[in-house]
Amino acid sequence: MFRDTLVKAAAAGVCGLLATGAASPAVARTQAGPSAPSVLRDYVALGDSYAAGPGIAPVEDEACGRSGANYASLLGERARRFTDVSCAGATTRDLYRRQNGDRPQIAALRSRASLVTLSIGGNDLGFTEIIQTCAQAAQTAPTGSPCKDYYAKDGSDALAKRMRGVAASVGKVLRDVKRRSPRAQVLLVGYPSLLPDDGSACRRAVPFAVGDFPYLRDTIKRLNAALAREAARSRVRYVDMYRETVGRDMCQAEGTRLIEPIVNPVGASAAHPNGKYMAVAAKAIGRALAR
C-alpha cells in the first residue's frame, strides 16, 4: 500500500506539471524607472518548467505554469524591457510551435534584445517519463537499481544515447537564438542538483530504488555536461546551476532544499525548483553577466 501510494503520488505530481488552465499572455513589460545595466536593457527569457517555476506564487500564466517570481522575473525587475515566455513541458521543438495557446517562444526574440536566457533539454531527455518509470520500477526491487537496469536492458544506456540527440537539438536552438538576437548576451542555464548520492533515507518523499539514486544523479550530471559543451561550441555562456545547488536537493529538509520532493512538495511543483532556488539562480546569472 505504501509503495502504491508513492507511485501514484509521483505520477500525479509530475503529470500535474502539464495540466492546463486558461491561457494568459506571456509576461512582457516596459519599465521607465532608473537606468538598468546595459545587458538588462532588453531581456527575453525562454525555457521549460525549470525556468517557468510552476507552483511558485504568484502565477502569471496558469497554462504554462509561469511564475511571477521565477529567476527571469527577478532579473527582469531591473530591465527596461522584459519578456518571459518560458513554459512548463517545453522541449526544443516546442520553442518553434504554439504551446498551450501561446505563440512559439522563439517568436519573442528581438533583433535588439540585449540578453536572452534559455533553460531547455530536460523534457527532450524525458524527465517526466524517467521519474514515472523509476518510481514504478522501485516497487520491484527497492534496494536495487531497477530503473538503471530498465534503461540498459539492451546492453547500453538508452538515456546516454538519447542525450546525444538532446545536445544536438539544444545546439541548434542556441545558434538560432544568436541569429535572431545578434546583439544579445545569450546564457544557457543548466539544471540543478536534484538528488543526493545516497537517497535511502528519503524514499518516502522521493520513491526511487536505493541503487537508482546515483544512476539518476549521474544522468543529470551528464546532461549538464552535454549542455555545457554545446554552450561552448555555440560561444554562449553556461550557468552551472548544479554546482550552485549541491547539498540542497529534493531529499533535504524543507528549509534547506531548493528542489521540492515528488511526494508532498511545498510551494512549488513536485520535482521542481522552489522560490529559494529562483533567487539563487537569479544571483548566479547576475554573476555570470558581471564576468
Distance from C-alpha of 164 to C-alpha of 77, rounded to nearest angstrom:
36
- List residues bridging with 28 in a β-sheet: 83
Place of cell 544523479: 217
Q: Which of 169, 181, 234, 272 is catalytic?
A: 272
Cβ atoms of 102 and 87 closer than 8 Å: yes
Summary mean pLDDT of the chain: 90
Give the predicted TM-score (pTM) of the model.
Answer: 0.89
Place of cell 517545453: 90
Q: Which of 38, 49, 119, 234 is catalytic?
A: 49
7, pLDDT greater than 60: no
Distance from C-alpha of 122 to C-alpha of 125, rounded to nearest angstrom:
5
Query: pLDDT tens digit string along 129-162?
Result: 999 999 999 999 999 999 999 999 989 999 999 9
Query: pLDDT tens digit string along 17-38?
Result: 443 333 344 545 444 333 346 6
Cβ atoms of 4 and 45 closer than 8 Å: no
Residue span of the structural domain in which 118 resides:
2-290
**Segment 233-259 mean pLDDT:** 98
167, pLDDT greater than 60: yes
Is residue 272 part of the annotated active site? The answer reads yes
Residue type present at position 283:
K
Exposed e or buried b for every residue in 111-125, given b needs 16+ CB within 10 A? eebbbbbbbbbbbbb
User: Residues near 84 by Cβ (< 8 Å), separated by ≥ 6?
Assistant: 26, 27, 28, 44, 45, 60, 66, 70, 72, 73, 76
- % pLDDT > 70, the chain: 87
Query: pLDDT tens digit string along 54-77?
Result: 999 999 999 999 999 999 999 999
SS3 track for the chain: CHHHHHHHHHHHHHHHHHCCCCCCCCEEEECCCCCCCHHHCEEEEEECHHHHCCCCCCEEECCCCEECCCHHHHHHCCCCEEEECCCCCCCCHHHHCCECCECCHHHHCCCCCCEEEEECCHHHHCHHHHHHHHHHHCCCCCCCCHHHHHHCCCCCCHHHHHHHHHHHHHHHHHHHHHHHCCCCEEEEECCCCCCCCCCHHHCCCCCCCCCHHHHHHHHHHHHHHHHHHHHHHCCCEEECHHHHHCCCCCCCCCCCCCECCCCCCCCCCCCCECHHHHHHHHHHHHHHHHC
pLDDT of residue 37: 62
Indicate which CATH number applies to the domain containing 95.
Answer: 3.40.50.1110
Instruction: Grade residue 4 by pLDDT with cuts at 50, 70 and 90.
Output: very low
Distance from C-alpha of 144 to C-alpha of 162, rounded to nearest angstrom:
23
Give the cell for residue 44: 527575453
Indicate the number of domains in the chain.
1
